[in-house]
Amino acid sequence: MFIERRIGQGTNAVELWRCEWENLAGKPAQKVYLEKIGEEQSLIQEAQSSASDVPAICWSYGRTLGNIAVFSQNLLGQFPGGVGDDAELPCDFVDAGKFRHGAERWWCRTHQTHWGIKADHEALDRFGEMRCANHTQLMHYVVSPFTVNVEDHAEVGIWCSMPAALSSVEIRRRAPRIHVHIRQETGAKKSMDGDFHAISLLYNDKSRLFGNKDITRVNITPPSAFEFVCSLELNREMGCINCSHCGYPHLDLGDFAHKPHRKHFCGNCGRDSTWSQAPIVSTPLKPLHDQYLDSLKYEVPNREINLDEYKHCNYTIWASTPAILWTAQRPQELGIHVHVHEGMTRIIDDTFGEVILDGKPLDRSTLIRSMIDRSTT
Ligand SMILES: [Zn+2]
Ligand SMILES: [Zn+2]
Ligand SMILES: [Zn+2]
Ligand SMILES: [Zn+2]
């Protein structure tokens, strides 16, 4: 038994069929199509109009690849709530060439794994359906995510929010979130100041950020935002390379995001034929961030605070981190953010150049390390 592709009758879909060679005495062997087992998806997604599509962003921790530059906001899947970590998504197979031993190979874009080894064929026989080895893996999701159209506002700032570095009260470990500031006019009050699980960013494509002009949406997920900020802080060599096979902008996560490398494995087509000139960590957030490089300046605020003068209060301390996206002309403040509470009242909420605690100035990079360590990824 083997699997063959064929064009669907009356459709343009590439169908996957289970086939057999029929050897009848005296006749040449003949290929028999036994049954259709699924449809192969094209590498460039067409807009879908199925009713079960919902605008959603999904992500998963512990992966080394991901897709955040997308053609469409819609995903096919089952989402039990508006936000959660228990989304079930169907496999989404694309042709991925052949295994080294010659067998046909597919790539599941949803669960990021190849299909086509013996165990996969056995499972197909048992369940009558192509499912990848990771298909039961539940994913984090947000339905109808907050969407920012960058061009619509005078100033947009986006950060990766992490747990605090130091506090007089307990600091909970948690997943990174996406923090957003929006101002309609320079100097005006913020019209948005909030934390999100994930957001979708739209921009018009004058700037041609990616190889494919149809990509005008980038989903900022917690793993992609977290790795990007860590790479900025730790000065890892970053870039954004498009897959040599399918043109998709490549996102490194996990181990791949920790170590710059030259050979990149594509999360959209499952091929590893893409080489960068120098070792880099690749992320679509890099060109997005670099669009505003001309006006990118950091400024250490000329303010200090001695927390030893607030012994009767509770405090919480974060190192400010570089923004993922900062469209304002003003410099970003790079310092230490402090909240001080006297009883229930927040009496201090500001970013300082120097913070004294127990008679010693705090070191920003040590604070960053503890924020990274407390982030669950
Ligand atoms: Zn799958
Ligand atoms: Zn590719
Ligand atoms: Zn890579
Ligand atoms: Zn604050």
In total, the chain counts a number of residues equal to 377
The answer to which of 43-47, 163-167, 311-315, 330-334 has the lowest mean pLDDT is: 43-47
248-262 pLDDT, tens digit per residue, is 899 999 899 999 999
Instruction: Tell me the C-alpha distance between 153 and 218, whole Å.
Output: 17
Identify which ligand lies nearest to the alpha carbon of 109: 1
Tokens coding 199: 């957001």
**Residue 23 CB neighbours (<10 A):** 9
Q: How many A from CA of 252 to the centre of ligand 3?
A: 5
Q: What are phi and psi of 342, to 5 degrees?
A: -105, 110
Average pLDDT over residues 278-282: 97
Instruction: Tell me the C-alpha distance between 315 and 47, whole Å.
Output: 50
pLDDT at 50: 39
Ion ligand 4: residues, CB within 5 A, are 349
Beta bridge partners of 159: 179
Instruction: Tell me the C-alpha distance between 238 and 317, whole Å.
Output: 28
| 18 band by pLDDT with thresholds 50, 70 and 90 | confident
166-186 pLDDT, tens digit per residue, is 999 999 999 999 999 999 998
The answer to which of 186-200, 211-225, 312-326, 340-354 has the lowest mean pLDDT is: 211-225
Alpha helices (H) along 11-135: 118-127
Q: How many A from CA of 348 to the centre of ligand 4?
A: 8
pLDDT at 171: 96
Average per-residue pLDDT in the chain?
88
For a pLDDT cut of 70, what percent of the chain falls above it? 94
Global pTM?
0.84
pLDDT at 33: 80
Is the pLDDT at 161 greater than 80? The verdict is yes
Q: How far is CA 273 from CA 109, 264, 266, 270, in A?
A: 17, 7, 8, 9
Best CA proximity match to 268, nearest among 88, 75, 106: 106
Decide: 240 and 289 in contact? Cβ < 8 Å.
no
Q: How many A from CA of 276 to the centre of ligand 3?
A: 9
350-376 pLDDT, tens digit per residue, is 999 999 999 999 999 999 999 999 998
20-79 pLDDT, tens digit per residue, is 777 777 776 777 888 887 887 766 554 443 335 778 898 988 887 777 877 677 777 788
Q: How many A from CA of 340 to the centre of ligand 4?
A: 9
Q: How many A from CA of 104 to the centre of ligand 1?
A: 16
What is the side-by-side order of every strand in the sheet holding 74-76? 74-76, 53-59, 139-143, 83-87
Identify which ligand lies nearest to the alpha carbon of 265: 3
Q: How many A from CA of 59 to the centre of ligand 4?
A: 28
